[in-house]
Amino acid sequence: MISRPEIQAFLGTYQEGAEKFPVHLQLHPGVDPSSIFLTGSSGSGKSTAGQCMAIQFAKQRTPLLALDLGHTLSPDHICPPLSSEFEALAIRHDLYNEPVATDILNPKPCGSNTESPYDTAYGLCQIIGQNNRFGPAQIASLTAEVKTIVERREICPHIFPSILKALKSSTSANVRMLGNRLEPLLQHDVFERRQNGSFSLPISPHIHIFDVSSYPDTIRTTLAELLLYDWFRSARALQIPIVIMVDEVQNLRLGRGTILNRIITEGRKFSIGSILISQSLKGFAPDEQLALSQTGTKLFFKPPLTEIRACSEMLAEPVRRSGTVELLKKLKVGQCLLLSDFTYIGDSLQPSSDCIQVSINFPTSIIE
């Protein structure tokens, strides 16, 4: 495993009486759960805070891989004081106009073993099938076809067209029907296979933005989850610290068994951090809210009035919730409640695990 020093992220200031103290996070990849969840209503400051953290992580030589689901990371949506430095670090990939490299068809090491071709195919097909409402039998049929692509991957550099061709040329009417159902997705040449022994994971210290926002909803979410799955597998195999950023994360699945759930709950073991940003808690099912409650750091900006109580339940124990509700109601733009075991206030050498109010601002090193 590659050794990395701690990652620090300046967040803003905490006020106690008349005094103001700088606040920063200090995370140790591979040791601390480096998952960060930001939520708040539109215009509350959460995306700006996420962009600020992305810059700081990249400047500390940690690759940051960002999913753009809805143009929220396009140049005109970056906070103006951060724009020049953000763009200097950004490497943009528009998946609608050009394919990206992937090794999603390459069997990965699994402890002392290597994945079987069937298991490699199943991971890909499970994501595609679940996003298209396939049942277990249909996913199994799809997996059997994709397994042959995995075994012949040397001559199948264009993954989706190869799968579509295999499905449509099958002797089974049921498999051909799957091909017809998946044609809107598989007609797009989105992924190009990496050679055996190489990895598609971007590891340069930049903000790598993968834009899938031009695709229709179902295709967009499928591609997003496949990218996350590819990054997770590669980072797990390489043990290279990375941070994955998803704005509008409410548009993806976070329930048990999903790739985002694994990134949140298992990422620490493989030095995989995450920055997950959402406008709302309302769109998350109970099991998805449970996953978000397991993030190591939470920043709650001013929420919609209808969600204040739900936010307080994630931030505070029952005896403290009434006070937390009042604090959430009074938050202004750029203010948040921060809850983390890795918060450092002022010059303190000991982290604070208290839920504190922070005013987000930018460190001089970022805006100069």
pLDDT in tens, 317-333: 887 899 999 999 999 99
Q: For residue 301, give every residue at least 6 positions away whose Cβ sits within 8 Å of its Cβ, in sequence order, or none.
A: 38, 39, 40, 41, 44, 45, 46, 49, 331, 335, 336
Q: 197 or 114: which carries more pLDDT confidence?
A: 114
Tokens of 211: 């834009």
CA distance 113 to 109: 6
**110: number of Cβ within 10 Å:** 13
The pLDDT, as a whole number, for residue 26 is 93
Q: List all residues 6 or more positions away from 181 whose beta carbon is below 8 Å from its beta carbon.
A: 132
What's the pLDDT band for 242 if we cut at 50, 70, 90? very high
What average pLDDT score do residues 348-359 get?
93
Query: Distances from the Cα of 90 to the Cαs of 55, 87, 130, 147, 209, in angstroms?
Result: 9, 5, 32, 36, 7
Residues 6 or more apart whose CB falls under 8 angstroms from that of 213 comprise 68, 69, 70, 71, 74, 220
SS3 at position 166: helix
- Cα distance between residue 88 and residue 238, in whole Å: 27
Confidence label for 367 from pLDDT (cuts 50, 70 and 90): very low
Look at residues 57, 84, 54 and name the one whose alpha carbon lies nearest to residue 68.
54
Name the phi and psi angles at 65, rounded to 5: -110, 115
Q: What is the pLDDT of residue 2?
A: 47
For the chain, percent of residues with pLDDT exceeding 70: 95
Confidence of residue 156 (pLDDT cuts 50, 70, 90): confident
Average pLDDT value for residue range 33-44: 93
- Tell me what pLDDT residue 197 has: 53
Are the beta carbons of 336 and 300 closer than 8 angstroms? yes
Cα distances (angstroms) measured from residue 81 to each of 48, 84, 362: 10, 8, 9
Per-residue pLDDT band for 108 (boundaries 50, 70, 90) equals confident
**pLDDT level of residue 199 (50, 70, 90 thresholds):** low
Residue percentage of the chain with pLDDT more than 90: 82
Domains for the chain: give ranges and CATH numbers.
7-88+211-367 (3.40.50.300), 104-193 (no CATH)
Q: What is the pLDDT of residues 247-270, one digit of tens each?
A: 999 999 999 999 999 999 999 999
Q: Compute the distance between CA of residue 66 and CA of residue 363 in angstroms, rounded to an integer.
A: 22
Place of tokens 């970056």: 78
| Residue 165 confidence (pLDDT) above 50 | yes
Specify the amino acid at residue 115: E
Residue 221 φ/ψ, nearest 5 degrees: -70, -35
Of 106-115, 165-174, 273-282, the poorest mean pLDDT is in 106-115
**What is residue 195's predicted lDDT score, i.e. its pLDDT?**
62
Mean pLDDT value across residues 168-189: 97
Length of the chain as a residue count? 368
Overall pTM surpassing 0.85 (yes/no): yes
260-319 pLDDT tens trace: 999 999 999 999 999 999 999 988 999 999 999 999 999 999 999 999 999 999 998 887
State pLDDT tens for residues 47-96: 999 999 999 999 999 999 999 999 999 999 999 999 999 999 999 999 99
Q: Is the pLDDT of residue 40 over 70?
A: yes
